[in-house]
Amino acid sequence: MTDSDTSFQSISWNDGHLRIIDQTFLPKREVYSDLTTVGQVWDAIKKLRVRGAPAIGIAGAYGLYLGIKDFSMKSFDMFYSESQRIGEYLNSSRPTAVNLSWAINRILKTIYAHKDSSIDELKEIVLNTAITIHEEDRRLCKEIGLNGAELIPKNARILTHCNTGGLATGEFGTAFSIILHAHQAGKVDMVWVDETRPLLQGARLTTWELQKSGIPHTLNIDSAAAFLMQQGKVDLIVTGADRITKNGDTANKIGTYMLAVLAKAHDIPFYVAAPYSTIDMELGSGDLIEIEERDDDEVTAFAGKQTAPKKTHVYNPAFDVTPNHLITAIITEKGVIKPNYNENFEKLFS
């Protein structure tokens, strides 16, 4: 079985516009949406039509180009100022995932490095940088999978959380890439899939990807994870990450910290899979990460039906932070990083 048999791309650049699989329709319908303006990209990121930290970064990069492609002024200073404004606007859509700001900052630095170029040339540079970010993500996700697959034992029963496959990245995924490449090596006996409240990314999206890839899996409610571990049915846990701080603290979809605590209690390895761009060397620890809170109706209603009394107060954080001491290793395209994360990240970035 080849990679092309089991991977797919949920985001692509076609004829001057961005095309995405609208993930809000999955798994019932596979709907593709064409985004032609920066406002449409902002809305798609905000409303989780495109989601997953790497995919958000890719979309943001293309969104920046869509925002400046019709810029008509000839001054570099005006062009750069407008690019910064558009970048700040895109960053406001979802602040927790560092890949978005990383991609935008990379493009802004590239623009400034070519400040002697014409405006038309700068526009082309912005687009080419976005395409490069996209292509790099596809390659590094495959490397993450190959690096992580070496850690997977034979007949492994893997528990995962949220969605980390091709829907969340340029292709292959992060944690999903490890599962995919371990499956191709004949190592995977079962994948336990957390529903992942409140938007059910595991139930709606990860199971959809696993079916496409022919990987054996079982969907479980989030609160059954502890019982599965107690029964001895989980050999390891692997999740993705939206932001990793300098000391290894990791922000990921809400419920991840709970899994890490449970893994520690049951002596089960807990792995995080993410590209190096998810590591934020500007933040010293996880308590500095801005945590996005989402709308109350994601919790008080389900499938359009009210499930809690009106005016019920809701706490709906989209992410939580797993302390570094609970993480067995962080798997990147550059290799498997183990504690001490402060020291080993410094080596990685040097």
**What are the structural domains of the chain?**
3-142 (1.20.120.420), 145-349 (3.40.50.10470)
CA dihedral sign, ordered 199, 201, 203, 205: positive
Whether 4 has a pLDDT exceeding 80, the answer reads no
For residue 28, count CB atoms less than 10 angstroms from its CB and return exposed for 0-12, middle for 13-18, buried for 19 or more. Answer: exposed
Cα(237)–Cα(10) distance, integer angstroms: 25
- Residue range 149-187, pLDDT digits in tens: 999 999 999 999 999 999 989 899 999 999 999 999 999
Packing angle of the helix pair 98-113, 53-68 (nearest 10 deg)? 40
Q: Which residues are catalytically annotated?
A: 242
* Confidence grade of residue 8 (pLDDT, cut at 50, 70, 90): low
Q: Provide the pLDDT confidence category of residue 1 given band limits of 50, 70 and 90.
A: very low
Per-residue pLDDT, 63: 97
For the ranges 109-118, 129-138, 208-217, 274-283, the lowest mean pLDDT is seen at 274-283
Does the pTM exceed 0.85? yes
Within 10 A of 255 (CB to CB), how many other CB atoms are there?
21
Average pLDDT over residues 74-99: 91
Q: Helix 53-68 crosses helix 38-46 at what angle (to 10 degrees)?
A: 160
Residue 253, pLDDT above cutoff 60: yes
Instruction: Tell me the sheet residues that pair with 157.
Output: 190
Q: Residue 2: is its pLDDT beyond 70? A: no
Average pLDDT, the chain: 93
